[in-house]
Structure 1
Amino acid sequence: MGQHIRLTSREIAYFTYLTDIEPVGIKTLDDLDAYIRRCKRHYWGHSPQTRQLHRLIDEALASCMASIQASA
């Protein structure tokens, strides 16, 4: 499988729900990392709400990575 990935429709829907930014064109781990950085830059700050959103994004990413590794 290498670097190439494909997000499930459920993962796409959840990332979109969390961030209001659809993960379009994610085909590699680098694309996914860039998407996560973009989302965190869009929602920047130090408020408790921002920190919680960043944590939820990180948890969604960890779940996604776990499913990628399980399918490899």
Structure 2
Amino acid sequence: MSNTNEYRLDPDNDPAAFCQRLLAEVEEAIIAAGVDEVALIIAEPVQNSGGCFVPPPGYWAGLRALADKYGARC
């Protein structure tokens, strides 16, 4: 999965669009792996590889919604 590094946003992107792009990537990975194969979503609250990156607003709620949608734990 892509990290939550907002420094790599396109100049015209806003945090909400960035969040949606990240969540879409998670959903695509769940579908690609097979919905019945994904039991858990693990994510770091603060990613520290190459800096200190926190997710954009709405990210955690979005992960929770994906977990609920596909029957995984988050």
What band does the TM-score fall into relative to the shorter chain?
Answer: 0.3 to 0.5
More helix by share: 1
Q: What TM-score do the two structures reach when normalised by structure 1?
A: 0.33
**Higher RCO structure, 1 or 2 (CA under 8 Å, sep 6+):** 2
TM-score normalized by the length of structure 2: 0.32
